Copies of this chain bind each other. A is one copy, B any other.
Amino acid sequence: MGKGRVEAFTDGVVAIIITIMVLELKVPEGEDFSALVPQLPIFLCYVLSFINVGIYWNNLHNMFHTVQRVDGGVLWANLYLLFWLSLMPVTTAFMGENHFATVPVAVYGFDLAMCATGYAILVLALHRLHGQGTAFAKAIGTDRKGRISLAVYIAAVALAFLNRWIGVGLYVVVALVWLIPDTRFSRVLEK
């Protein structure tokens, strides 16, 4: 089964997620600067989520680049990842509208953790299909960065109940680490 339409569908869904997220940024009520202040935490959440979804798109882009083909398992692993990504507009707004209250921060982190499991499952499904020694296997290695991110997200959700800013801080740290695009793939591709 060719990978073209999976790429196109994934691009489409991610493009829509990243764009409809902004619909949760309600139009400020009032016409002076003070109307913008309550929007600030929501805006910051939006920036964080935009970067997170952008990271997923970049990584999926690079990953599928090294992939030769897909099967039913890959399609559903991908849909599972897209499911949790599609919840990001809602969990983002939940965290922003409640000004980073504890439970919304934990829910946001839970969503990020579920996305990370989706990414891990997708890596496994592609691994099973492509086997050792292929460009994909070489590029992804043991997906250490993905596994560590998942562990940090789970820790962040737990620590958010101690102090919510630890949770938020860890989400930002993981995003910054990934913002540097996954050079594993480009390294292999350029050889």
Contact = CB atoms under 8 A, between A and B. Distances in A.
Contacts of A82: 18
Contacts of A86: 18-19, 21-22, 50
A82 B21 CA distance: 13
Given A9-B57, A54-B76, A107-B36, A16 B19 contact: yes
A116 to B, nearest CB: 19
Q: Which of A9, A72, A93, A183 lies at the interface centre, i.e. has the most chain B CB atoms within 10 A of its CB?
A: A9
A163 to B, nearest CB: 16
A68 interface: no
B13 A15 contact: yes
A86 B21 CA distance: 9
Nearest to A26: B90
Interface of A: 1-2, 5-9, 11-25, 27-28, 31-33, 35-36, 47, 50, 54, 57-58, 61-62, 65, 71-72, 75-76, 79, 82-83, 86-87, 89-90, 93-94, 97-98, 101-104, 107, 179-181, 183, 186, 189
